[in-house]
Structure 1
Amino acid sequence: GVPFVWTDTTKTAFQVLKQQLISAPVLALPDFQQRFIIETDASDRGIGAILQQQGHPIAFMSKALSPRYQGLSTYEKEYLAIVVAVDQWRPYLQHAEFDILTDQKSLTHLEEQRLTTPWQQKAFTKLLGLRYRIRYKKGVENTGADALSRSNTQDTLFTVSSCQPAWLEDVISSYNNNTMRHGCWNNCQYAMIPKVASLFSKEFFDSEAESGWEGVHKSNKKLYQPSTTALWEVIQGSR
């Protein structure tokens, strides 16, 4: 690309731009006695438009194109930009005639063209009942809408992390240190925790199914401590 040179001219332009951005009014209020003008443009990945009066912007529109619409032709993308902009600002436009500026010259004769696809025909229905005039504007002059049509592709840095309760390590270590670990736990119908006081309390208070205190009798039923008979049945059934 062309190298950027910081000169007195570019410095002055930068200062003027900053002043314009913070100077009121940034956006003008609509005047329904004046003619509305829409500038539209489309790129490979998005569409953009500006609603203005007498050269002063009233509203901006910028939308990314889904993969479905990214496959459209240049003509259809420019056509889509017009349809979406008009549909979004319809309350401003339906009362009087307005102008549409586009750098797709073939669209200036839209009403005289034969719409060949169902999508084009359906999109055209959004323009019915409105009074408008489509005019051509060179692409090099249509800079505002062009900038709005181009998505800002900035790299995003992120990291993927997962949380794991620290008490799970206590459960694992308690299994290894428990004398009844040899296959018995795997054959039970219940999720069993080794008989360690700290683990019982954590399971009771942290589990979604067992959390909360409902009194001695109800809460006691939530806890399962296998008896010798129950374990013996498991052992016999696993043989």
Structure 2
Amino acid sequence: MQKYFLGLKSTLPSMSPVDQSWPARPYLFLDGVHRELRRIFHLWRCKQYRSQFTQEKKVVYEEKLEASELFKDKKALYPSSVSQPFRGDYLEISKNPKYQKLHSAVEEKVLLADVVNKINRANGKGTARIFLLAKNSFVLDDQTGQVKASVPLPDLTSVSVSTQSDGFFALKLKEGSAAAVKGDFLLSSERLIEIITKLHRTGATAADREQLDVDISDEFLVQFKQDKVCVKFIQGSPKNGNSASCKRKNNRLLEVSVPATA
């Protein structure tokens, strides 16, 4: 037994929680003990690894875990987001004088600030908008400091995305709410995974509202004023190189053409 334990001590694998190696069992009668020691060692090194995290780093990993639970094996865009850190404020809105007016219009801490494309309901073309997410609302701004829409998060009922590698997402609003007068929002962003993950987390931590539903389908309905319009995703050869493109086909259909993945 002494020889076994000393030998195991000198051949233990690295402290990395993803290291799958484990020394071979030298004696048949120790098979059960050998497996149990492997389990205990792995739990211990995971605990040691977690103890190094600051509170900020824990939040980063919690967000990445939530993104995995929402999108892994469901959304083709997800794998490319795994290695990208979630930065939140991509515009440095609290420091940049250019956005001083916009920052003062949002009284809460900004959780995410980035430029997205708002899809025009009439023709499917995109228009650049600043998207701000705070604890209790999201804001769309026209980049001049003029707020185009300010939506309380309790009025947001669900988010719809496709299964493909595009960045299109629909923010669906509660019928009858003040924010829903013009209908739902159809947006596009390269950082879709981060935006929806943060939206989902704000709902999960709020006591006054239900958790946000995330629907993943290549065909879903959006409400544009009085009309229900189908957003349909197809494999195609978009005109914008490797980017997905959107086109209004008729009164009831918006078609998004997504490049075929290899």
TM normalised by structure 2 equals: 0.21
Write 1 or 2 for the structure with the bigger share of strand. Answer: 2
Higher RCO (Cα < 8 Å, 6 or more apart): 1
Write 1 or 2 for the structure with the bigger share of helix. Answer: 1
